[in-house]
Amino acid sequence: MTATSFIGYSRGVHNGPLSHATNPATGEVMEPGFASPSADEVESAVQLAAAAFPAYRQLTAATRADFMRTIASEIETSIDAIWTRGTAETGLPEARLRGETARTVGQLRLFAAMLDDGSWLDARIEHAQPDRTPLPKPDLRSMLRPVGPVVVFCASNFPMAYSVAGGDTASALATGCPVIVKAHSSHPGVAEIVAAAVIRAAQQCGMPEGVFSLLYGSGRDVGMTLVKHPQIKAVGFTGSRAGGRALMDAAAARPEPIPVYAEMSSINPVVMLPEILAEKAPALAEGFFQSLTMGVGQFCTNPGLLFLPEGSESAFLEKLTSLIHDAAPGVMLNAGICQAYLDATNATVAHEGVEKIASEKIPAPGQGAPVVFRCNAATFLQNPTLTHEMFGPASLIVTGTWEQITAAANSLEGQLTASLHGTTNDLAAAAALMEILERKAGRIVFNGFPTGVDVSHSMVHGGPYPSTSDGRSTSVGTMAAYRFCRPVAWQNAPQEQLPDELKDANPLRIARMIDGKRCDP
């Protein structure tokens, strides 16, 4: 490994502080050390992106789609290197890394298919009505256009799907925005492998230099420099609430504020209703346990809060307690995440009225053990800090009357997901609760658990603050493209001055809205 930043088609030099990945399973400091870029190198990456934007935004959708597919193919050629380095840097098993890589290349190809289709541009045409009274109507045509260079921050818990060539990068590149990625210190080697694949694809496809760069270094130094730079027009981030807020505040304080699309904090409430608990308590406990402990609980959709109607919970709790008691600890992604998990669980059990109901194995250093807490709804409503995320395999069970559970759900902050388990009768009686959860979350799951996010056209992976910085957006699925676009209208433009997508002849054969009606090509 070169262990230096990618500055367009060039590599940085070893002139800054070195940072090393640490194997979370062994504590071993890994070689090589990755060099932080100089201020001049950061500036060069930004200027290359700014210079690439005018040419890249004008490329045809077919050309960008080919670029996306080529990135996917190049990543696939590196899969063995990715899992070999990735298992050592993250402690994740080979199967997880291979699956995450498949998801990454799949979403690149999904965005390529979106580009082929063209309907995502929301092309609209309204013909002139010169005889309209009291005022003539001009010819108006509009579509989405890219905003400019985008900064993407890699996520600690997803070295592939939310990192160098993950959803933020894929959606930005698809819309016509150059991307500068800020690598994460937990998996710098995987970042280099994937960035090299992106650069190979860019060169093969004749992309303008600067369409992609990757920078190492600290988030507070390099990351903040990028967010504050006047040439950067949007930011994608997945991480802590504190990190997301810092980026949001910095972006809002710029002379030209820019959007930060941050996925930050969610406890993903699950509600189990009485009739289904009476019918399927052991199976529900098994499903909840699997969702809670998947990936050592290090998913943004981990079910960190469970509501159970009092008087219906005993069989469920008995089975869940047994499962937790027999569960083994797992290696967490890095020492910082592991310590934060221990701090959060200790803070939860310190609350008066909260008890630990499932004993866990004593973890070794670097490991997290599953744990479940319990309190009544009155205690939960009186202690807002009980809604704080415990990032790991921990959950708080809240029991109460139906009225108390409804009030508790109404008190929650914004969430990525909310899940309801119930029979037909249960769900019919829970209409008021479902309306509350729809206001609180971006995805409502029925008779299932929130872990597992399908990459598709209809997926919403977002929600009201603080689950994300902007609840109108998603970071997964093709709707993610809308984060990095803005609408532009052409009024009374000659045909030769219009983009192909808006010309009367429709040479690209895309679906459009014409005079208020959707028209297929």
72-96 pLDDT, tens digit each: 999 999 999 999 999 999 999 999 9
For residue 14, name the pLDDT band (cuts at 50, 70, 90): confident
Q: Residue 177 catalytic?
A: no
Task: Answer whether residue 135 is part of any domain.
Answer: no
pLDDT at 418: 98
CA distances from 162 to 169, 253, 429 (A): 8, 26, 38
Q: Catalogue the E-assigned strands of 292-391.
A: 305-309, 330-331, 355-358, 367-368, 371-376
Rg (CA), the chain: 25
Shared-domain flag, residues 211 and 275: no
Domain range enclosing 293:
269-446
281-311 pLDDT, tens digit each: 999 999 999 999 999 999 999 999 999 999 8
DSSP 251: H
Shared-domain flag, residues 252 and 278: no
Residue 58 in tokens: 């004008």
Strand partners of residue 141:
125, 490
pLDDT score of 149 more than 90: yes
In this structure, are residues 418 and 441 in contact, taking their beta carbons and an 8 Å threshold? yes
Shared-domain flag, residues 253 and 276: no
Shared-domain flag, residues 307 and 400: yes
pLDDT at 298: 96
227-286 pLDDT, tens digit each: 999 999 999 999 999 999 999 999 999 999 999 999 999 999 999 999 999 999 999 999
Closest by CA position to 36, among listed 183, 191, 152 = 183
In this structure, are residues 30 and 212 in contact, taking their beta carbons and an 8 Å threshold? no
Shared-domain flag, residues 335 and 314: yes
Shared-domain flag, residues 159 and 228: yes
pLDDT at 34: 96
Task: Answer whether residue 277 is part of any domain.
Answer: yes
CATH number at residue 288: 3.40.309.10
Shared-domain flag, residues 400 and 435: yes
Catalytic-role residue among 41, 192, 209, 263 = 263
CATH number at residue 201: 3.40.605.10
Q: Residue 300 catalytic?
A: yes
330-387 pLDDT, tens digit each: 999 999 999 999 999 999 999 999 999 876 678 899 999 999 999 999 999 999 999 9
In this structure, are residues 100 and 160 in contact, taking their beta carbons and an 8 Å threshold? yes
Shared-domain flag, residues 113 and 218: yes
Shared-domain flag, residues 245 and 303: no
Shared-domain flag, residues 276 and 421: yes
Catalytic-role residue among 177, 300, 338, 485 = 300
Q: Where are the alpha helices (DSSP H) in 139-273?
A: 167-175, 188-204, 224-228, 241-252
pLDDT at 17: 83
186-227 pLDDT, tens digit each: 999 999 999 999 999 999 999 999 999 999 998 889 999 999
Task: Answer whether residue 137 is part of any domain.
Answer: no
In this structure, are residues 14 and 80 in contact, taking their beta carbons and an 8 Å threshold? no
- Number of compact structural domains in the chain: 2
Shared-domain flag, residues 282 and 259: no
